[in-house]
Structure 1
Amino acid sequence: MKRLFLCLVLVGMFGRAWAGPGSSLPPTDTARLRQHLQFLTTTPQPRNYQHPVVLDSVARYIQRCLRAAGAQEIGEQPYAVNGQTYRNVLGSFGPANGPRIIIGAHYDVCGEQPGADDNGTGVAALLELARQLGQLPTLPFRIDLVAYTLEEPPFFRTPHMGSYVHAASLRAAGVPVRGMVALEMLGYFDDRRHSQHYPFEPLKFIYGSRGNYVTVAQKFGNGRFGRRFARHYRSVAALPVKRFKAPAWLSGIDFSDHLNYWHFGYPAVLLTDTAFYRNRSYHETTDTLARLDMRRLGLAVDALLATLMGGQ
């Protein structure tokens, strides 16, 4: 009840109504992002597959916050792995019928670490986007927000990934999907020269050596959705954005939940701060809230909302 009350209070304190066309969209609230991250990084044990009770507590928190934000449909997608039940959490906004856009982020971590950037920032962004969507009087299409379990090793690239389970269920049900956006590490920035690295180092001459941007990454042949999303996101963002397109085999291009939507034929993109190519605390105990940039994380979420409302 305390956490539900916290979600409701935060919506009341920081929510701003959207008056309709011509008005500004509800802005991201960085205090709310921080509140979500504080919860995610201070669980009794790390939120990994070896602590299913902790994962369940995080799933309940996400459900409560989606409910407080006004999601029309809230549910779980439980499934069993090695005799243990894990669950995705889903919330939808907008019209019940018609093609939908999937926005997803995984809430588990790798090993015994707090996982502030990986992937606390993706989950915090997802929940803040939910609050913003809940304030809009109408949406042009359905948007499904999905918090995935079991993205991290030892389940990465297996059918046990929560995103694989979700994407497979959409395909089995014949659900039309316009596209998918994976939110994966969005809060670490470094303005120093040579702070940004690449799978192919000469790319620094194209994209720069400073880790001060977010990127929209996708594979070749990803379709119209990916092109439009990347172009629009870059045009509305108030922080630097790089558009990165590469063959699917390039290291890092598929290192998140979007790869499973590719597997089932859905267009999907990755929105990220480039993970371990910049953040040297990736999968380390030093991946803490203190290292994150709340202002730029907020700008990344603002651009995501503006892109979704820009006619994707």
Structure 2
Amino acid sequence: MAKTLKENVNVFCKEIGKRDYNNYDNLEKSKQYIISKFKSMGYNIGIQDYQIGDKTFSNIIATKNCLNKNKDSKTVIIGAHYDSTSGSADGGASGISALLTLADLYKNTNAYHNVRFVAFVNGEKVFAKTDQMGSKIYADYIKQQNENIEGVIVLDSIGYYSDKSLSQRYPFIGPSMPNKANFLAVVGNSDSKDLAGNITGYFDESSLLPVKNINKDFLIGYGIKDSYSFSKDGFKTILLTDTSIYRFEDINRADDKVENIDFNYMSEIVKNLKEYLISY
């Protein structure tokens, strides 16, 4: 699994690079890569297009329907953005790479709820926290459709880990928080506390990877993440993250390279997420 994760990160960072409004050809290459990966896994593919100026932007949806196909079936959404203004590894590619790897791992399983893997466009500046953010476009759509969404899990910056003391920083000193950057943060608001608690509890029981349930107000910048789009529309939503800049100050910069990613930690996240989705 670590090999697959690394292959995906290398495609986004080294073969494609910067991919956003100003690097539109590369954004299209990313779109086609994601579609081809989902198709090769056998998923039903949906494309949600929308216009900004003279350019078309696309959210990509891959769906695995449950065993009991009826209109009351609940749906779990797993999402990550695929654009990147810097072409970086942790900030720009770890989330979408994990999403694709998770979808591949999950493809032959069956569960009693629908699982939808969604690759969002325009998750970074200048579109972050605007109505043109891909996740906001999608969240608004499923809200209008009154879909039975059980929960939304967003993956963003999940690749940087360290066992060194004082490798983890915080926006303020938290005596109860770990000082090693070796844990996965589960971030949500009060409406999503049950979902956050369930995932935290599952990882505590099934994984050697430490997890920490964190209130969203603790992490400055949460409001510009894709998770915010769904929380704002009233969906139970959590963000899985390595805490981004509080752990890796060079995130989304030139030093945010593939070589800094810990693919063994990422594998542990993906493996346990797959098992959690089956038991959900």
TMscore range, shorter length: over 0.9
**Alpha-carbon spacing, 1:206–1:223, altered in 2? closer, same or farther (3 Å):** closer
Q: CA RMSD in A?
A: 1.6
1:175 is aligned to 147
Alpha-carbon shift at residue 229 of structure 1 (Å):
2.6
Q: Are residues 1:81 and 2:52 paired?
A: yes
Q: Are residues 1:146 and 2:146 paired?
A: no
2:183 is aligned to 213
The residue identity in structure 2 corresponding to 1:101 is V
TM-score by length of 2: 0.93
> Separation in 2 of the partners of 1:230 and 1:239?
11
Runs of 4+ in 1 over 4 A off after TM superposition: none
Q: Are residues 1:291 and 2:260 paired?
A: yes
Q: Are residues 1:233 and 2:218 paired?
A: no
The residue identity in structure 1 corresponding to 2:247 is R
Q: Are residues 1:108 and 2:80 paired?
A: no
2:215 is aligned to 245
Length, aligned pairs only: 276
**Alpha-carbon spacing, 1:39–1:140, altered in 2? closer, same or farther (3 Å):** same
> Separation in 2 of the partners of 1:230 and 1:284?
30
Gap regions ≥5 residues in structure 2: none
> Separation in 1 of the partners of 2:273 and 2:207?
8
DSSP-derived class of the 2:274 partner: helix
Identity of aligned residues (%): 25
Deviation digits for residues 207-231 of structure 1, max 9, x if unmatched? 1211111111111232533332332
DSSP-derived class of the 1:282 partner: coil
- Answer whether contact 1:99 1:176 (CA < 8 A) is retained: yes
1:7 is aligned to none
> Separation in 2 of the partners of 1:255 and 1:236?
31
DSSP-derived class of the 1:75 partner: strand
Deviation digits for residues 141-163 of structure 1, max 9, x if unmatched? 10000001101111111011000
Gap regions ≥5 residues in structure 1: 1-28
TM-score by length of 1: 0.84
Alpha-carbon shift at residue 132 of structure 1 (Å):
1.2
Aligned residue among 125, 135, 138 for 2:108: 135
> Separation in 2 of the partners of 1:250 and 1:121?
19
DSSP-derived class of the 2:15 partner: coil
DSSP-derived class of the 1:132 partner: helix
Aligned residue among 83, 98, 121 for 2:94: 121
